[in-house]
Amino acid sequence: MDYQPVELDDALENDLRQLVRLSIAEDLDVAVDWTTVTMIAPERRGACQIVPRGEGVAAGIALAPWIVDEFDADLDVEVLIEEGASLVPGKPVVRLSGSARDLLTSERVLLNILSRMCGVASLTQRYVNAMAGSSARLYDTRKTTPGWRRLEKYAVRCGGGHNHRTGLFDGFLIKDNHLALGRGSNGSDPLTAGEAAKRAVEMRGASVDQLVAPSMVEIEVDTLQQFEQVVTTGIDICLLDNFSLDDLRSAVARRDELGVKVELEASGNITIDTIAKVAATGVDRISSGALTHQATWLDLGMDWFDG
């Protein structure tokens, strides 16, 4: 019972290639790398290594060949580390050799993408380590950089986290704004959490205009009273938004007392300092937008050598 994880697949490759094309356009526009063309002879060959300057977690390293391919570069790419492995300062993660011009022109795009993804994975691992010893699982959110959704979610997985829904298309997630703007079957305003949950459960897997509705149903609740309305409706996940630690424990106890199979997800202002206490309440899942919107880049550099 979970959302589809982001994999190293065709969808991820497609997103990456679109991003690389945009990055190439930003750097070259409709011209060339004038500095490199002026300074470097076309026959000049070279070799370099991408090297982390600090500790962290590898993510996106396996994508380096796709990035180079999108440049149509005359380069050989050797990936030296597995995704999710620990980065050691000074120890190379990718080795490239070939056209010196292509090495220089593709350098910044390679480093930008890999640095961002390693940064997300490294922060995710810190959160995972902070909640070690609990049975709760850590999830990302849709608070991602536009255009980077799959890449950042893939990086979260490299850091030991799990993926929440990829977009609006692959799961029901009823939030407070849906309740505020929706209407009940009797025309009441606003829509109650209980009726909203039942409506989504009934729509699960239905065919609409040749499209099939998703199977996962999740609803966000703000109070224990709303939780009571939805816990026995057949939903898959109940998101407990900004609950106190005491209320989280109460929701877990009530779910267990009723014997229903619904996973409980804590969310809202989850930080590296609070996540262990939240995990200790017995919730099954914790989601945090900080994994992506608070992640900083991991410093990666390109070191030249005689190849």
Q: Specify the pLDDT at position 169.
A: 95
Q: Is 277 a catalytic residue?
A: no
Per-residue pLDDT reduced to its tens digit, 81-129: 999 999 999 999 999 999 999 999 999 999 999 999 999 999 999 999 9
CA distance 113 to 130: 26
Contact criterion met (CB below 8 Å) for 137 and 287: no
Q: Catalytic residue at 261?
A: no
Report pLDDT for 175.
96
Residue 241 a catalytic site member: yes
Identify the structural domains of the chain with CATH numbers, from first to last: 10-128+295-305 (3.90.1170.20), 133-293 (3.20.20.70)
Q: Say whether 175 is catalytic.
A: yes
pLDDT-derived band of residue 307, with 50, 70 and 90 as boundaries?
A: low
Model pLDDT, residue 186: 78
Arithmetic mean of pLDDT, 250-278:
97
pLDDT given for residue 184 in this prediction = 84
Residue-wise pLDDT for 142-198, tens only, equals: 999 999 999 999 999 999 999 999 999 999 999 999 999 998 887 767 899 999 999
Q: Which residue in 140, 220, 236, 265 is the catalytic one?
A: 220
- Residues sharing a CB contact under 8 Å with residue 213, sequence separation 6 or more, in sequence order: 172, 203, 204, 205, 206, 207
**Mind listing the pLDDT tens digit for each residue in 63-83?**
999 999 999 999 999 999 999
Q: What CA–CA distance (Å, rounded) separates 194 from 66?
A: 47
- Of the residues 143, 149, 204, 249, only one is catalytic, namely 143
Q: How far is CA 261 from CA 82, 230, 231, 238, 251, in A?
A: 36, 12, 9, 11, 13
